A and B are shown apart, each in its own frame.
Chain A
Amino acid sequence: MNTGLIRLLPELVLCFGALLIIFIDIIYSDIKKYWLGFLAYGFTIISFICLFILGSNKTWLIVQGSYAVDGFSIFCKALLLIAGSVIILFSIAYVYRGMEYKAEFFALILFSLMSMLVLVSSADLILILLAFEFVSISSYILVGYHRDDMKSREASLKYFFYGAISAAILVMGFSFLYGLTGETNIYLIARALGGKTQLLIPDYTLLALLGLVLVGAGFGFKIGMFPFQMWIPDVYEGAPTPVTAFLSVASKSAGVALLLRFFFVVFTNNFSINWSIILLVISIITMFTGNLMAISQNNIKRMLGYSSIAHVGYILAGIVGIYHYKITTGYTGATFDVSPILIYLTAYIYMNLGAFAVIILSEDMTGDNIPSYAGMSQRSPLLAGMLTIFMLSLAGIPPTIGFIGKFFIFGELVNASHYLLVILAVINSIISVYYYFRVVYFMYFVPPETEKKGFSYSLLTMGALWACFAGTLFIGISPNLFIELAKKALIGIDIIR
């Protein structure tokens, strides 16, 4: 028996939890459903503890080398589990307020979370495809969970079509990579592309370029990079709010992690085509699309959708910086330092979760429209103050975690002497201040339409909100501890096996 299989424990715990929830719901159908929510929360915590116990800097390649457990994947899994557990806390009150099939909701969240954990570790084309589709299929159902709501059903339909097309494009890209090298393991594909083993045809430029573009398009759909960002605002507006938070935080982070591993392993080492120029252009357009479209939005979920597109633009700029640094310095080491992007992802997760927590808490009283947040500072000073901090953080203003994230990405770009990209990114940050502060303006400087108070502070959601708030401010004020931790975890992707 291969002892490496014990490394799959965090994923197995989540899978077991999801199945257990479904069984308990069938057998004890009159159980209070929030207990199942607590059970789901408990399983994410157990999974996190397993991850922590099994964590090490060593790289494990298990299941015939198709599953990589290394510092990078463990850090990403920890982020995903934090995001997942916080979202389950949000959903307990939300689901209880009026949703059918409560137990299945938690089971689907756990299944989706499990497949994301598999996604960030998988190092084989088949496994990547299966995990990618598992994430997508469970998300389609979650998006359409409000079956009586026209918007939710429409969002689900749109998400399904965009997702299915992206999956087909991804399989086509994989088919070219497989055909060129005859391997499905990404490390072996990288070796073949580097000329270590025989290729199908000696001049690989055309087939490899086809594979690169198609795979990039498939992944781009998932993370919402230009020109595949059309679904994001529609789906974010229509989905139930905890699901929107789940998509924008967990699903997107898993997609970015997958993109990082795949592109740095397969298309970087000994690969002659320089794709950073394509990604550079895409990242600039993505930033501008997200920020310029967000200005005119009136729905806050839609606005956060466009803002998440802009954040993906910054992340792509960071990838360009890392890649370019490698090219210019001629770095040939076995590990790639991707810590700036992971720090940015952490920041993005904390501040976005916090913003969504405030939206969930005030949804009943205000609705989704930004003008209806008028006078929040009088109706609920606490929520207004917290949302202000999260908006500051999303705009990247110190002393918040968002500033730390942007600082590291821009620092990486300066290292790679991409000054134009830095300037454009800073211009984008300034544009973004406008629409984030529009919310703050309505909360503090516009008198409320109604004097209605009585926000229902669900205890669990408040707890999650305070946790995000503490993370946003604490890491923002004293980032040293966190950065030490991140560097110590050796957050690099091993590119050679």
Chain B
Amino acid sequence: MPVIYYVILSSLLFCIGLYGVLTRKNAVAILLCIEIMLNAANLNIIAFSRCWPEPARGTIFVLFVIGLAAAEAAVGLAIIISYYRKSEAIDLDNINLLKW
């Protein structure tokens, strides 16, 4: 299959993730949308890596990105929990102490 189909798919996934980030109000849902964006990029890298004589380079890149996403999700969930414990809400509409 030509690589362009994969690129279109991953671009769509990326846009879905970005749309979710911009419209969702729940903090955990936003975190999931960010994961979708990261995985769209992973799919892109893997698809591209098949076009080159050394596909291992792209695979290693993706492995690093997966590990990085896990680390980011761990810290992010910790921050969300610490926020939730005090304010009993993770709705971003209520996060308005700091503005302008």
Is B25 located at the chain interface by the 8 A CB criterion?
Answer: no
A238/B98 in contact, CB under 8 A: yes
A200/B51 in contact, CB under 8 A: yes
Is A219 located at the chain interface by the 8 A CB criterion?
Answer: no
Is B93 located at the chain interface by the 8 A CB criterion?
Answer: no
**Which stretch (A21-29, A154-162, A311-319, A435-443) binds chain B?**
A154-162
Tell me the count of chain A residues lying within 8 A, CB to CB, of chain B. 42
A161-B30, A168-B34 known; A130-B68 Cβ under 8 A: yes
Q: Give every chain A residue within 8 A of B83 (Cβ-Cβ).
A: 153-154, 156-157
Give B6's nearest chain A residue, CB to CB: A179
A157/B98 in contact, CB under 8 A: no
A160/B76 in contact, CB under 8 A: yes
A140 to B79, CA, bound (A): 8
A153-B86, A161-B30, A168-B38 known; A179-B48 Cβ under 8 A: yes
B37 partner, pick from A172, A178, A179, beta carbons under 8 A: A172
A237 to B99, CA, bound (A): 10
B51/A168 in contact, CB under 8 A: no
B72/A164 in contact, CB under 8 A: yes
A130 partner, pick from B34, B52, B64, B76, beta carbons under 8 A: B64
B38/A171 in contact, CB under 8 A: yes
A154/B98 in contact, CB under 8 A: yes
Q: Give every chain A residue within 8 A of B76 (Cβ-Cβ).
A: 140, 160, 164
Over the window 64-100 of chain B, the binary record of Cβ atoms lying under 8 Å from chain A Cβ atoms (1 yes, 0 no) is: 1100100110011001101100110000000101111
Q: Give every chain B residue within 8 A of A165 (Cβ-Cβ).
A: 18, 21, 34, 37
Q: Give every chain A residue within 8 A of B21 (Cβ-Cβ).
A: 161, 165
A171/B41 in contact, CB under 8 A: yes
Is A303 located at the chain interface by the 8 A CB criterion?
Answer: no
Secondary structure class of chain A's binding surface, majority of residues: helix
A129-B64, A129-B68, A157-B27 known; A175-B45 Cβ under 8 A: yes
B98 partner, pick from A144, A158, A182, beta carbons under 8 A: A158
B72/A167 in contact, CB under 8 A: yes
A158/B71 in contact, CB under 8 A: no
A144/B82 in contact, CB under 8 A: yes
Is A337 located at the chain interface by the 8 A CB criterion?
Answer: no
Is B19 located at the chain interface by the 8 A CB criterion?
Answer: no
Is A422 located at the chain interface by the 8 A CB criterion?
Answer: no
Q: Give every chain B residue within 8 A of A8 (Cβ-Cβ).
A: none
A237/B54 in contact, CB under 8 A: no
Give B95's nearest chain A residue, CB to CB: A154
Give B58's nearest chain A residue, CB to CB: A178
Q: Give every chain A residue within 8 A of B3 (Cβ-Cβ).
A: 179, 200
Q: Give every chain B residue within 8 A of A182 (Cβ-Cβ).
A: 48, 51-54, 57
Is A169 located at the chain interface by the 8 A CB criterion?
Answer: yes
Which of B18, B52, B71, B79 lies at the interface centre, i.e. has the most chain A CB atoms within 10 A of its CB?
A: B79
Over the window 122-156 of chain A, the binary record of Cβ atoms lying under 8 Å from chain B Cβ atoms (1 yes, 0 no) is: 00011001100100010011001001101101111
Query: In angstroms, how far is the closest chain A Cβ from the Cβ of B73?
Result: 9
B48 partner, pick from A144, A161, A167, A200, beta carbons under 8 A: A200
A172/B40 in contact, CB under 8 A: yes
Over the window 11-46 of chain B, the binary record of Cβ atoms lying under 8 Å from chain A Cβ atoms (1 yes, 0 no) is: 000100110010000010011001001101110110
Q: Give every chain A residue within 8 A of B49 (Cβ-Cβ).
A: 178
Q: Give every chain B residue within 8 A of A167 (Cβ-Cβ).
A: 38, 68, 72
Query: In angstroms, how far is the closest chain A Cβ from the Cβ of B50?
Result: 10
Q: Give every chain A residue within 8 A of B31 (Cβ-Cβ).
A: 164
User: 28 A-B contacts, Cβ less than 8 Å apart?
Assistant: A133-B72, A137-B71, A140-B79, A144-B82, A151-B97, A154-B95, A154-B98, A157-B83, A160-B76, A160-B79, A168-B41, A169-B37, A171-B41, A172-B40, A172-B41, A174-B41, A175-B42, A175-B44, A176-B44, A178-B45, A179-B44, A179-B45, A179-B51, A183-B57, A200-B3, A200-B48, A234-B99, A238-B97
Counting from the closest, the 5 A-B pairs by CB-CB distance are: A179-B48, A168-B37, A182-B52, A175-B44, A171-B41
List residues of chain A with CB under 8 Å of any chain B CB. Answer: 125-126, 129-130, 133, 137, 140-141, 144, 147-148, 150-151, 153-158, 160-161, 164-165, 167-169, 171-172, 174-176, 178-179, 182-184, 200, 233-234, 237-238, 296
